[in-house]
């Protein structure tokens, strides 16, 4: 049963009206039926297959897919395209970055064309991630619910239990280290803040919200500092290993059987399957541990699609976007690579995802059942802010200091709070103190 609850919508809308106040208004989608050429930017796995499938089934529209590198560089490129007027017709925008794109006037207001579709198709909390200032700016694709990935063969061999609480997890991490000093049950990322943002979300932190007509910024609120202190303690006791991100060095430890567990989102299942295929059958997934033993989760990532302001063929782009986000055939097309494990933002489309991702790699475990539990238990009330590029870089510039002991994570959270507040004020936004 879907349990996501509408968050404090009124307060959020009030704050986010400040976002739209800074945008340059809504360009309307073309009134004519969609046809012609569509330029499509995306870094998501399976985007090429989606474009090809759409072209086969929609002869009046030709989607030209342009592969993009993900991360901050993508948003810089998109921002530069907006400034030059050479924008694509359809583009991916993670929930994290959508408020900033809107605040800079880079997205087309889609309220009239897809607002009712978004309201009908997606749960309230997902709607709110693409609804800013009462307007719909994107169509959700996926919801990246968090999971704990673990080596079931190692856990079975040593009779280890999957942790239900964060206290359990610390005990587990110590046991794994005691079994083999070269192995760890988790990883801390020195160059990617998303793990800590997701765990702050899970703990009940609220990094962005509203107080009257002002933004409220709570990056160093009590739940978030609890997460920061907990992970600082894991690092201090050498119970988790550190990597810049889930990239080469991380995968070497996975390949060498040194890392027997880590926290990540739904999309990591596909990455694991694609990167270490020889470990098929060794891995399983579980819900996140929680602070009190009750199910609680959050998201790392999750994407929507927008029509950038200035798009030359917005009507055809919107037809494409609707198909790849809300049509069962469009969702099925994302799995053309055989390794995508995205979790659809629309609950009714989950059966299509399950059909597209075979689970032999996870020993036949129904990982989508676990994902559904995680998705359903996502803590309500989370919002992203309008200066996430600053927030992200402020975190990523400092996280390594917590790993080498030269700074405390709690201090880093407060420093990022200060940097973010300054960025909002520099943009002329009012921040509650």
pLDDT digit string (tens) for 338-394? 778 999 999 999 999 999 888 999 999 999 999 999 999 999 889 899 999 999 999
Say what the pLDDT of residue 1 is.
Answer: 36
CATH class of 146-300+361-427: alpha beta
Say what the pLDDT of residue 59 is.
Answer: 93
In 219-336, the DSSP E strands lie at: 241-243, 261-265, 283-286, 303-306
CATH number of 36-143+301-357: 3.40.190.10
CA–CA separation, 386 vs 181, rounded Å?
A: 43
CA–CA separation, 189 vs 403, rounded Å?
A: 9
Take residue 347 and report the two structure tokens written for it.
Answer: 């609950």
The answer to whether 15 and 207 are in contact (CB under 8 A) is: no
* Residue of 359, 314, 315, 316 lying closest to 341 (CA atoms): 359
User: CATH 3.40.190.10: which residues of the chain?
Assistant: 36-143+301-357, 146-300+361-427
pLDDT in tens, 206-248: 999 888 889 999 999 999 999 999 999 999 999 999 999 999 9
Say what the pLDDT of residue 336 is.
Answer: 79
Name the one residue in this structure whose structure tokens are 């390949």.
255
Say what the pLDDT of residue 24 is.
Answer: 45
**3-state SS, residue 205:** coil
Low-confidence ranges of the chain (pLDDT < 50): 1-15, 18, 20-26
Long-range CB contacts (< 8 A, 24+ apart) of 81-86?
81/308, 82/106, 82/308, 82/309, 82/310, 85/310
Long-range CB contacts (< 8 A, 24+ apart) of 54-59?
54/320, 54/323, 54/324, 54/330, 54/333, 57/329, 58/319, 58/320, 58/323
Say what the pLDDT of residue 254 is.
Answer: 98
The answer to whether 277 and 271 are in contact (CB under 8 A) is: no
Backbone angles phi, psi at 418, to 5 degrees: -65, -40
Q: Within the chain, how many helices (H) and strands (E) appear? A: 19, 14
pTM of this prediction?
Answer: 0.90
Say what the pLDDT of residue 17 is.
Answer: 53
Task: From residue 8, give the alpha-carbon distance in Å to each of 60, 261, 433.
Answer: 42, 35, 20
**3-state SS, residue 233:** helix
Say what the pLDDT of residue 421 is.
Answer: 97
């Amino acid at each position: 049963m879907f349990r996501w609850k509408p968050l404090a919508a009124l307060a959020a809308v009030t704050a986010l009206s400040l976002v739209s106040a800074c945008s340059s208004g809504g360009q309307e989608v073309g009134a004519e039926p969609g046809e012609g050429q569509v330029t499509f930017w995306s870094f998501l796995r399976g985007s090429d297959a989606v474009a090809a499938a759409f072209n086969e089934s929609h002869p009046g529209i030709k989607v030209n897919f342009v592969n993009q590198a993900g991360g901050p560089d993508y948003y810089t490129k998109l921002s530069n395209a907006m400034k030059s007027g050479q924008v694509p017709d359809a583009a991916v925008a993670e929930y994290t970055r959508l408020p900033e794109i809107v605040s800079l006037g880079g997205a087309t207001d889609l309220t009239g064309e897809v607002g009712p579709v978004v309201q009908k198709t997606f749960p309230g909390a997902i709607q709110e991630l693409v609804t800013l200032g009462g307007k719909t700016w994107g169509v959700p694709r996926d919801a990246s619910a968090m999971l704990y990935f673990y080596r079931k063969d190692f856990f079975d061999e040593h009779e280890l239990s999957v942790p239900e609480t964060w206290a359990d997890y610390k005990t587990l991490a110590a046991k794994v280290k005691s079994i083999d000093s070269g192995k760890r049950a988790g990883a801390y990322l020195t160059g990617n803040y998303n793990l800590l943002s997701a765990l702050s979300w899970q703990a009940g932190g609220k990094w962005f919200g509203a107080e009257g007509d002002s933004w409220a910024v709570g990056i160093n609120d009590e739940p978030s500092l609890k997460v920061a202190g907990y992970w600082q303690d894991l690092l201090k006791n050498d119970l988790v290993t550190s990597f810049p991100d889930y990239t080469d060095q991380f995968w070497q430890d996975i390949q060498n059987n040194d890392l027997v567990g880590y926290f990540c989102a739904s999309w990591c299942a596909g990455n694991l399957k694609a990167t270490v295929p020889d470990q098929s059958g060794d891995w399983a997934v579980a819900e996140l541990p929680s602070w009190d033993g009750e199910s609680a989760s959050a998201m790392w990532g999750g994407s929507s699609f927008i029509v950038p302001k200035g798009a030359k063929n917005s009507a055809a782009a919107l037809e494409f976007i609707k198909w790849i986000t809300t049509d069962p055939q469009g969702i099925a097309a994302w799995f053309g690579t055989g390794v995508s494990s995205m979790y659809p933002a629309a609950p009714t489309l989950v059966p299509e995802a399950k059909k597209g991702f075979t689970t032999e790699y996870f020993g036949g475990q129904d990982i989508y059942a676990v994902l559904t539990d995680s998705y359903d238990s996502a803590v309500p009330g989370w919002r992203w802010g309008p200066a996430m590029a600053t927030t992200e870089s402020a975190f990523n510039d400092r996280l390594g200091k917590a790993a080498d002991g030269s700074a405390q994570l709690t201090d880093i959270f407060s420093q990022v709070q200060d940097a973010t507040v300054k960025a909002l004020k520099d943009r002329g936004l009012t921040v509650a103190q």
